[in-house]
Amino acid sequence: MKLGVLFSGGKDSVFAAWMAVQKGYELGCLISVISENPDSYMYHPVNINVINKQAEVMDVPLLVKKSKGKKELELIDLKRAIDEAKKKYDIEGVCVGAISSNYQFERVKKICRELSVGVFSPMWGWSEGEYMHQMIKNKFKVVVVKVAADGLDENWLGKVIDEKAVEELGRKRIHIAGEGGEYESVVLECPLFKRGLKIMKDEKKMDSEFSGNLIIKKIGLTGKG
């Protein structure tokens, strides 16, 4: 089956894409909806520019659509994007990086039913600890690019998520995978990437003590092409 991956460039969508390949699926395209709303209920708008480089090192076509990010109305934009992917890349299903968030998952499933495409959600029902440990074990280099929870200060921006970081997150009594929006991430290296990515220029911008972004201004490639 050929899948379209709902893709933000963060750890959940990239790990789900890798899991799909492990299960024998073909990645037909990456589907990214860019929201103008920084507090979108559905989409991860931070450093969305990085997805172009990620698609390049994955060698998978990227389909990008824009959305105003208005609650519920943004689902229309997602439906249009999936429908276009179905027609342009012949996808038969959609790959989703959901773990336990019913809000997003149920809405994606409804859209897919309406468009007669399947849904593949490889991490659904996993414990957050199992997921994080599997991600680290399989050599995903993931950095934090947004914080929005008590205890996650400026020092977390740019931090690599390793076992030590997971332990620290656990002590803060938040969802350690950040599925509730406690933090957002960007993947720089993983088994799907033919070359790694490197942040060449960035800027930290804090809105309050425990809320801020790492704005990636320039991203480059590592390793041989």
Total domain count for the chain?
2
One domain, residues 76 and 175: no
168 burial level (CB within 10 Å; 0-12, 13-18, 19+): middle
In a domain, 129, yes or no: no
Domain match, 143 and 52 both: no
Residues 204-214: tens digit of each pLDDT: 999 999 999 99
Q: What is the pLDDT of residues 11-62, one digit of tens each?
A: 999 999 999 999 999 999 999 988 775 655 555 555 677 999 999 999 999 9
pLDDT in tens, 72-111: 677 888 999 999 999 999 999 999 999 988 888 899 999 9
Tens digit of pLDDT for each residue in 177-195?
Answer: 998 889 999 999 999 999 9
In a domain, 172, yes or no: yes
Question: What radius of gyration do the chain's Cα atoms show?
Answer: 16
pLDDT in tens, 124-181: 999 999 999 999 999 999 999 999 999 999 999 999 999 999 999 999 988 999 988 8
* pLDDT for the residue 46: 57
- Residue 19: CATH number of its domain: 3.40.50.620
Domain range for 9: 2-120
What pLDDT is stored for residue 104 in this prediction? 81
Which of 120, 148, 180 is the C-terminal boundary of a domain?
A: 120
In a domain, 198, yes or no: yes
Q: Are residues 22 and 104 in the same domain?
A: yes
Q: How far apart are CA 188 and CA 10, in angstroms?
A: 9
The predicted pLDDT at position 34 comes to: 84
Mark which of 120, 146, 171 sits at the end of a domain.
Answer: 120
Cβ-based neighbour number of residue 223 at 10 Å: 12
Residue 65: its pLDDT value, please?
Answer: 87
Domain C-terminal end among 68, 90, 120: 120
CA distances from 43 to 8, 31, 50, 176 (A): 7, 11, 15, 19
pLDDT band at 69 (very low <50, low <70, confident <90, very high): low
Strand partners, 26: 2
- Helix, strand or coil for residue 176? coil
Helix 163-171 and helix 128-137: axis angle, to 10°?
160
Using DSSP's 3-state secondary structure scheme, residue 47 falls into coil
Considering the domain boundaries, does residue 180 fall inside one? Answer: yes
| Residue 75 domain flag | yes
The CATH number for 183's domain is 3.90.1490.10
Residue 72: predicted pLDDT: 61
